[in-house]
Chains A and B, each alone.
Chain A
């Protein structure tokens, strides 16, 4: 299975607080998979363990054909990681500079990506001149510039207003349809999950377990119109029913 992520018997606890105890999950290659679950159930921890930021306590995981140059991780408040002394262009170019690409190659890459996801920036300007939404978009573009095969996204839209949020979802889909990466999307927003993902993994309270993996057959690209369809609401209801079992209201 090329590009698949599999997690087996994963164990992790913070100060005797068990987040994962024999946690198992498998993610299909070339698909958008959303991880949805109650607050503090370990969604972000899962991404942090998979990307090597946080050590696991036990168990194992495997990401097929993974190396540090074919993956991107967009975390919450990702825009804070923009470098204010670099122009917008130089910020987007950073991942390619790290890979020692020539200036010519970088410019070509930026043009290509710009064409695909359709974003425009004042390239000679600086990030601090942009609005919060645009900054997140810039950071997003930077994460995609090296065309990663694996994309881990942790609540990328949570700090955005609804319009920018929809805008970013559209860009992400364009990238996805062009390159078919394996995308793991952590979110606490049902609409986001159903809008973007082909599979929605619903987690329980900690120690987290997979309650159910829900298929979402809505065709891509999913537009605003897709959000109003019966099929969309059906999937959303299903996710909600599974989610309901794990929360106390």
Chain B
């Protein structure tokens, strides 16, 4: 199956190359894939972009870790009682459905024009996704497993530690995967606003303003690669630790 996964990237580059070669779009606005990849290699090779890449990664990882630290325990706790979850469901779903970037001005007011506001808004949005998925994982635990443990005389805390927590993991992981992607998206978008001198989002906007279109595409491509690598990382961790999922 693995060999088929190469088809996607090849197809994408091929369509891009054909569109560029046939000049379907003005070459100035859409440089070809090879020009873009060459530009990306140049940016990475010269090290100009490395600092921005690291800044973005730092913000993403930080916001993600904060989201886990708050969201995971909260999701586990809320999922234990469907009544509690239902009573706060509106709040979670409301903010989950609100574009987090629309809340950015609010975070700017609270945290100031600093990195804190970017990290906070990304952490907030990711946290909601983690809470939602973790709580659902706990709530949808197999009844037969809980019943069997109850009959064996397990305490509530034992059932939670040995069953509910594990039951929630596959769904939690889906949440974590979505959350890290969302963190990246929000961090890059907020970097495009004010108060940043580094970050991939900043560089994309800079390149756009100065009409360095190949650089702009190169950095967009880099952002995509970073997101995809995060995804791969999570799939690998999942395969290793959740080998039993769905069985």
> B-contacting residues of A (Cβ < 8 Å)?
51, 53, 68-69, 72-73, 75, 77-78, 80-85, 94-95, 97-99, 126-128, 146
Known A81-B144, A83-B163; judge A128-B244 contact (CB<8 A): yes
Q: Is B208 an interface residue (CB 8 A)?
A: no
When the two chains form their complex, are residues A126 and B145 in contact, meaning their CB atoms are under 8 A apart? no
Which of A73, A77, A78 is most buried by chain B, counting CB atoms within 10 A of its CB? A73
In the assembled complex, which residues on chain A have CB atoms less than 8 Å from the CB atom of B152?
A: 72, 94-95, 98, 146
When the two chains form their complex, are residues B151 and A98 in contact, meaning their CB atoms are under 8 A apart? no
When the two chains form their complex, are residues B244 and A84 in contact, meaning their CB atoms are under 8 A apart? yes
Q: Which of B125-149 contact A (CB under 8 A)?
A: 142, 144-145, 147-149
When the two chains form their complex, are residues A98 and B244 in contact, meaning their CB atoms are under 8 A apart? no
Contact of B142 among A75, A80, A99, A146 (CB under 8 A): A80
User: Shortest beta-carbon distance, B36 to chain A, in Å?
Assistant: 44
In the assembled complex, which residues on chain B have CB atoms less than 8 Å from the CB atom of A78?
A: 144, 148
> A-contacting residues of B (Cβ < 8 Å)?
142, 144-145, 147-149, 151-155, 158, 162-163, 166, 169, 243-245, 247
In the assembled complex, which residues on chain A have CB atoms less than 8 Å from the CB atom of B147?
A: 53, 75, 81
In the assembled complex, which residues on chain B have CB atoms less than 8 Å from the CB atom of A82?
A: 145
User: Shortest beta-carbon distance, A115 to chain B, in Å?
Assistant: 23
In the assembled complex, which residues on chain B have CB atoms less than 8 Å from the CB atom of A99?
A: 153
User: Shortest beta-carbon distance, B241 to chain A, in Å?
Assistant: 9
When the two chains form their complex, are residues A85 and B166 in contact, meaning their CB atoms are under 8 A apart? yes
Residue of B nearest to A145 (CB): B152
**Docked CA distance A1–B151 (Å):** 24
When the two chains form their complex, are residues A69 and B153 in contact, meaning their CB atoms are under 8 A apart? yes
In the assembled complex, which residues on chain B have CB atoms less than 8 Å from the CB atom of A97?
A: 162
**Docked CA distance A83–B31 (Å):** 54
**Docked CA distance A146–B162 (Å):** 18
Residue of B nearest to A139 (CB): B148
Contact of B247 among A69, A75, A77, A84 (CB under 8 A): A84
Q: A82-B145, A128-B247 known; 14 other A-B pairs, CB under 8 Å?
A: A53-B147, A72-B152, A73-B151, A80-B144, A80-B145, A81-B142, A81-B145, A83-B145, A84-B247, A85-B244, A95-B153, A98-B152, A98-B154, A146-B152
